[in-house]
Every structure is written in structure tokens, then in C-alpha cells.
Structure 1
Amino acid sequence: MNTAELVEAPYVLEEKQKEEHWTETIEPRTRLLDLRLKEVWRYRDLIAMFVRRDFIATYKQTILGPLWFFIQPLLTSITFVIIFGRVAKISTDGMPMMVFYLSGITIWNYFSQTLTATSTIFTANANIFGKVYFPRLTLPLSLIISNLVRFSIQFVLFLCVWLYYIIKGSAIQPNWAIVLTPVLLVLMGLLSLGVGMIFSSMTTKYRDLTMLLQFGIQLLMYATPVIYPLSALPQKYKLFILANPVSPIVETFRYAFLGSGNLSWGLLCYSIGITSLILFFGIITFNKVEKSFMDTV
């Protein structure tokens, strides 16, 4: 390179830099609580695509398709009526067995399905994460939305059964607490998101935690008033059941629509506090593992 080219080189480089207009700059996160929500909002179309993908992947090669949204809670409720209602004769606080069990199953399914799906985000989507960049938070958010759609469909089924028993003249006493339903759903969604992100971060190294979580969810259902009312429990067991942050949410949902049980603002605040703590820890863990999970997954 001659003297003239050496003098001209910086100017050529500067002109090239001016011509380059980057639409996206990918930088490493420096803060664990950096959620980049504005960036997530720009990728809202991708979230919608993930939601559609979940439905297509689940029911593409099934005979009954979306009808499974109705069949699963119905069959589960009928099974509970036979086993826990007829055989074990567990009290339902004077409520019709079918609507009592269906109320608990409807909101419990939203929590358990969201938690199960969120807990495998890194391992189930490693091939996507390794090929293209997008805000990783879009995937757990899409799972919350897709399971919320499933809940809405099952909620319509519950309302149909609920209205049938009201018209029939059963002892169902709905009350003003029904307006808290959106709050209860937000709590369920955030709690499952927080726990799911923690397990998803841990399963990048320890795959057997996925099987442990599935077993734990089944046990947690029995530690939640889904198949029994709190009033049927001895006092010494109530504190243990109420220590579960899901229990006040299920109890409030059932109280709102059936009038069974009671509404405790203190227990709801407890659930909000535990949910906030778990979500905070889940976000920190998720952001920390996100930087290097491709090396271990």
C-alpha cells in the first residue's frame, strides 16, 4: 500500500460506516433484571406465531382436535365424582359434585399446563435458540397466552355446567367475588411462569428434574383444595394446605362461583407476595442461564 492509499484509507472506512444502517444491534445483557419489554413488544407478532404453533402442533394429527379441550376436564371430573365422591365419599360442602370438581379442575389445569410447558422452554426450543435471535422472554409469554386460550374454552364448559345447576335450583350461590377472576388468572399465570422459568433454567444441566416436576405437580394437586373443600380438613392440616400459594387462588375461585368456602384477603395477599418473590427469582435465574445455556443444553 503506497502513501496515498494509507492517507485515503481512513476516509474510505468512514464512508463505508456511514453507508451501513443496522436495523438491529444484538448486545449481551449486563443486568439480570433487564427484561427489555420494549423489545418484546416489537416481537408481538412472533408471540402470536408461537401461540398458533402450539395449537397446531398439539392437535394437528388428532381425530377429535380441539374437542379434547372439553373431553379432558369432563372425563377428569367424572372420574373424581366416582372415586372421591361416590367411593371415598369426600364432602363437597353441599355443592353438586360435578360442578364442584369441575371448578377446581378448570383453574388448576391452567396452572399445571402452563407450568409444565414453561419448564421445558430451553430444552424443547434449543434448535430455534441456536439459529436465530429473538427475545427469549417471548416464548414463556406465548405459553401463558396459549394456555389462557385453553382455559377460556374450558371455562365456557364450566359456565355451561354451572348455569345448568343454577337453573336446576341447586344450592349454588355466586357472589360479587366473580369480578376477581381476572386477578386470579394473572396470579396463576405469573406463579406458573416464575416456577417454570426456574425449572427451565435448571433442566439445562439436570434433565431428570423434568420428571421430578411432573411428579411434583401431581402431588401438589392433592395439596391444593381441588378435590376437597378446606372445611373438610382437620385444623392441623389446614395450615399446611394454606402454605401452598395456589390454595387461596383455587379457594377464592370456587367461593366466587359456588359460594362454597370463604374469601380471605390475608391469604390472597400471601399468594401475591409468594408469587412476586418466585417470579423475581425466576426472572433472575432465566436471564442468567440464557447467556450460556447453549453450551450445556
Structure 2
Amino acid sequence: MTGHLTKRESEIGSESWDIIIRPSGKTGVGLTAAWKYRELIWMFFKRDFTTFYKQTVLGPVWYLIQPTLTTITYYIVFGKIANLSTDGISPLIFYMSGTIIWNYFSACLTNNSETFSKNSNLFGKVYFPRLVVPLAVAMSGLVAFFIQFMLLLTISFFLWLSQDGIVINLRFVLATPLILLYVAMLGVGAGLAISALTVRYRDLVYAVGFVAQLWMYATPVVYSYSQIPERYQWFYHLNPMTTPVQLFRWALFDASPLPLSVCLANVTATLVIMIAGLILFARAEATAMDTV
């Protein structure tokens, strides 16, 4: 009997498996595993895009309606009533450029903040690296950004033809992908951290939308960086969304560039948030299904 067991164990041990599921280490973040499942990321990306607008009348047109109405509101409230300066940039494209960059960040942040709770049924049945879902969310947000970006370029082109005094720089072709990568890293990293914490602290789910709204007003979206008093500029060194919003306007419309110290501080904060989010998410992944 003992010999039979030994033989059977040796046969099992000699089998080759495609994937062996083991508990993740404390420092593993799952990026390598997620890359192996890149086809699944693409599938989730297509699912998110099709299901979100499947039963809507206007479909992707909502991508155009939302920034347009938001821009008009900002133009009336902050441009006409509050009379805030836009550094010589046409108010319409000033507010729309800040809006579409912020919308992409907000989508990455809020849609990833409930990764475990929203996908608990799927996570409990099928194995795949959980990081696949947040990466797919970031890709889905790029569709909305691209459509809104085309709208921004169209409006900018017509304003340029009307001799409105605007300048359109072609350096945005190179700068925009880097800015989007930066925003995706920040949004996904912050979303992963919140998602990991909401496994135990459910109250954070209700605070995300409120905090995101406050964060927007703490970012030069509806006002220019030059309007910020010098004694408060240290705060914008800590706000990592300052750099992409201002650089996006600089790349497109030749807005005032940021001081190098702000950019370096923002990049450092983004890297810290991204790494912390990946580590917290990887640690929460092992026990999330037991507590969600």
C-alpha cells in the first residue's frame, strides 16, 4: 500500500501544469501575471465599453454631451460671473482641456475603487490576476478621452480659423501619450489603494465621490496655476494632478509651463501612490473574497 502511494505521488509530481496557483508574496504586485493575461484585459475592455452604453439611446454621444455641458457651466460660473483669468487662452478650450483630463483621472479612480466588491461574483468563480480588471478600466477610459479630445481639437481648429488669437502646438502629439500614462498610473494606483482598503472599511466607498470632487477644485482645472497665491503654491507640489492638467494646456495651447520643482514633486507623489496601490491591492487580493 505504501509503495502504491509513493508511485502515485511520483506520477502526480511529474505532471506539467500550465499555471500553478500559489499564495502571493508580500511584495508581489502581479504585473507579470497580468501581462500574461493581456488578451483577457482586452476582453474586459470590450465588455465594459459595450455594456455601459448597450441600453442607452444616444450611446457614445454622451461622451460629447458631458464635457460640453460641463464646459459651458464652467464658462458661465467661473469665466463670466467669477471672472477668473484663463491666461489668455480661449475660455471654452481652457475649461474643456482641464475637464477631459480630469474626467479620465476620475474614471480610473472611482471605477477602480470598488474592484473587489463589484466583481466579487466573478472573482469567486474564476482564477485570473485581479489586476486585469483595473487595467481594463483604464483602457476603457481612454475611449472616452479620445472622443472628447477630438471634440477639443475640432473646437480649437474652428477658433483658430476665426482668428481668435489661439495657438495650437503640434507638440501635443508627443506629449499627450506621456500625460495619459501619468494620469493612468495615478488614477489606477489611487483606485487600487482605496479598493484594498474598502475590503475592510466599507465607508470609504461613500467618500470616494466626495473626495474626488474636492480634489478637482484643489487642482487648476477651472482656474490657472498663475492665479494661485505664492503662499499656497506649496500645496500644489503635493497635488499630483497639477502637472498633467497644466502640461496638457501647455502642450496644446502654449500655456504657462510649471516650475520644474512642481513637476518633480508631482511625479514622485504619483510613483509613491502607484507602488503603494499595487502593494496594498496584492495583499488584499489573498483574503478579499473571504470578507467582501
For normalisation by structure 2, the TM-score amounts to 0.93
Shift of 1:225: 0.7
1:172 and 1:259 in contact (8 A); partners too: no
Pairing 1:111–2:112 present:
no
Distance 1:112 1:294 in 2: 26
Distance 1:232 1:207 in 2: 38
SS state at 2:255 partner = coil
Pairing of 1:256-295 with structure 2 (within 5 A)? 256-295=251-290
1:177 and 1:255 in contact (8 A); partners too: no
Number of the residue aligned with 1:124: 118
Distance 1:12 1:235 in 2: 75
Unaligned residue ranges in structure 2 (runs of 5+): none
Number of the residue aligned with 1:83: 77
Could you give the per-residue CA deviations for residues 171-202 of structure 1, whole angstroms, max 9, x where no partner exists? 22234652222111111100111111110001
Number of the residue aligned with 2:168: 174
2:193 and 2:276 in contact (8 A); partners too: yes
Pairing 1:200–2:158 present:
no
Shift of 1:283: 1.2
Distance 1:59 1:246 in 2: 28
Shift of 1:16: 6.0
Pairing 1:225–2:230 present:
no
2:37 and 2:132 in contact (8 A); partners too: yes
Distance 1:275 1:16 in 2: 46
Could you give the per-residue CA deviations for residues 76-112 of structure 1, whole angstroms, max 9, x where no partner exists? 1011111111222222122221111101001111101
Aligned residues: 291
Number of the residue aligned with 1:142: 136
- Code of the aligned partner of 2:121: N
Number of the residue aligned with 2:181: 186
1:191 and 1:278 in contact (8 A); partners too: yes
Distance 1:227 1:15 in 2: 67
2:236 and 2:262 in contact (8 A); partners too: no
1:249 and 1:271 in contact (8 A); partners too: no
Distance 1:77 1:201 in 2: 34
Could you give the per-residue CA deviations for residues 42-72 of structure 1, whole angstroms, max 9, x where no partner exists? 2111111111111122111111011111111
Pairing 1:159–2:185 present:
no
Pairing 1:29–2:24 present:
yes
Distance 1:241 1:17 in 2: 57
1:174 and 1:255 in contact (8 A); partners too: no
- Code of the aligned partner of 1:214: G
Number of the residue aligned with 1:97: 91
- Code of the aligned partner of 1:102: M
SS state at 2:202 partner = coil
SS state at 1:228 partner = coil
Distance 1:7 1:232 in 2: 82
- Code of the aligned partner of 2:195: S
For normalisation by structure 1, the TM-score amounts to 0.91
Shift of 1:30: 2.1
Could you give the per-residue CA deviations for residues 108-135 of structure 1, whole angstroms, max 9, x where no partner exists? 1110111111111111111111111001
Distance 2:204 2:2 in 1: 60
Q: 1:201 to 1:168 in 2, by over 3 A?
A: same
2:29 and 2:278 in contact (8 A); partners too: no
Unaligned residue ranges in structure 1 (runs of 5+): none
